[in-house]
Chains A and B, each alone.
Chain A
Amino acid sequence: MSQNFLEIPDEVLATQARSEKEAFATLIDRYESRLLRYILRISSLSQAEAEDTLQEVFVKLWQNINEYDESQKFSSWIYRITHNETISAFRKKVSRGDDQKVSIDDEMVQEVSSHISVEKEVDENITTVQVHSILQTLPEKYKEVLVLRFLEGYSYGEMADILSVPEGTVATLLSRAKDAFKKTSKRRNLFDFLSFSS
């Protein structure tokens, strides 16, 4: 369906998608799996809910494609739409009183813990299970920046565009997210030690 568009950069495709549905379909194909994973990582939505949210993201993208500014990176723009749509879906879910726990996969645990150097600064014996449970407890805003930085590999500038905040705020959030992770790790370690001693 979209073979003619395979070599075309996202930014050009986004411009073509204004008039060609095939170009738009190629954009969907390119981003579907990445965005679905992102939605699942930053929210507590189920697979089915995440797919519904993703569908809404692409519907919004189609509706607002003329707002896209070619000077901006397309991936930052589509991540911003996804971010906003996910937060909105997540809040609706929370207001309904559904489960608020975020699904955290093994890749996320591995990437985040290696970038924060938990082993060096906290305890060499910290386990993957512990890292997993620490990430579960972090506030939404901290988890978002950890995911964007260490898993999606975005720069501070791109993260600023996605989250619609100044770059300085991104740096502050990331630093606080790391601190929160380390503090929780230390507390957990101390708790385990006390439990063991008693």
Chain B
Amino acid sequence: MNTLQKFSEKVLLEIDKRKINQVPRWRFVLKNLLFWGAFLVALVLGAFSFAIIFFALSNGDFDLFAHLPPSRFLFFLQSLPFFWLGFLGIFLGLSIVFFRVTKKGYRISLPILFAVVFGFSIVSGGILYLSGGGETLEKILTAPFPGAHHTQDQRESRWMKPEDGFLAGEIVGRQEQSLEIQDFLHHTWTVDISHAQIIPGQETLQEERIRMLGTSERPGQFTAEKILPWGGDKKERRRPRHERPPF
């Protein structure tokens, strides 16, 4: 007992000698609140990423999968929102890390925590996308980066390659066997549709904006093999040309 008392005295002397003070309670509370705050911010940014990914995928032209040969696989790869997938990965990872360092964060196992964080982000991201927030969020989050390409711009650039067989634009004139199209750079094209397959049906030609697969022998002339509606987000409005990055 005597030895034990000696040890406690020794410890108290050491504390006095090293002038060690107690860390105030508010610092621990603040630290924990900061971790919770960082966790919530990361979680919300993860949900935003999902909303933008859903928006990008809905504009990804994946309906062409059955109409393009396997050699054009690159076309679909270009449609994948790699930047936002990376953004999502970073913020899901950060939200897990921040949660684990909160006071009782260690109690939840990693697979369960991942499932909860992923589930929350995908559901709230889905709700945001369905309420039309995907494109707006993309604009807000890319605002600090003037060179950042938006989903719609990237999609339009994929359809501005007539030499590769991809052309899209607005119908500005119609004849029985041909259409007059204005592409996204306001160049006018005469499109031969005499042998074109219209997907999914005749109503496509009622659309203002269309996509076409085909061939271009010379500038201004395009022979369509397949015609599809532009699709994507119907509410989407094209930005004025001067606001768009060059293709």
Contacts and interface: CB of A to CB of B under 8 A. Distances in A.
A, B from the same assembly: yes
A163 to B, nearest CB: 8
Given A29-B4, A32-B4, A59-B14, A66 B107 contact: no
Interface stretch (B5-13, B178-186, B209-217): B5-13
Contacts of B9: 1, 25
Contact of B15 (A26, A33, A62): A62
A32 B7 contact: yes
Interface string A1-28: 1100000000000000010010011101
B82 interface: no
Interface string B93-137: 000000000010011110000000000000000000000000000
B24 interface: yes
Interface string A39-83: 000000000000100110011001111110100000000000000
A114 to B, nearest CB: 30
Nearest to B106: A164
B188 to A, nearest CB: 65
Contacts of A33: 4
Contact of B8 (A18, A32, A66, A169): A32
Interface string B1-43: 0001101111110110010111111011000000000000000
A169 B110 CA distance: 10
A113 B136 CA distance: 65
B23 A169 contact: no
Nearest to A167: B107
B20 A28 contact: no
Contact of B103 (A64, A69, A168): A69
A26 B22 CA distance: 18
A25 B184 CA distance: 79
A21 B10 CA distance: 13
B107 A55 contact: no
Interface residues of B, number: 24
Contacts of A65: 22
B109 A168 contact: yes
Of B7, B24, B27, the most chain A CB neighbours within 10 A belong to B7
Nearest to A164: B106
B8 A160 contact: no
Given A29-B4, A32-B7, A160-B107, A64 B12 contact: no
Contact of B11 (A18, A55, A67): A55
Contact of B24 (A1, A58, A66): A66
A166 interface: yes
A165 interface: yes
B22 A55 contact: no
A166 B109 contact: yes
A166 B107 contact: yes
Contact of A28 (B8, B18, B107): B8
A64 B23 contact: yes
Contacts of A63: 20-23
Nearest to A61: B11
Contact of A55 (B14, B23, B106): B14
29 contacts: A1-B8, A1-B9, A18-B22, A25-B5, A26-B8, A28-B8, A29-B4, A29-B5, A29-B7, A29-B8, A32-B4, A33-B4, A51-B7, A58-B11, A59-B11, A59-B18, A62-B11, A62-B22, A63-B21, A63-B23, A64-B28, A66-B27, A66-B28, A67-B23, A67-B25, A67-B28, A166-B107, A166-B108, A169-B109
Interface of B: 4-5, 7-12, 14-15, 18, 20-25, 27-28, 103, 106-109
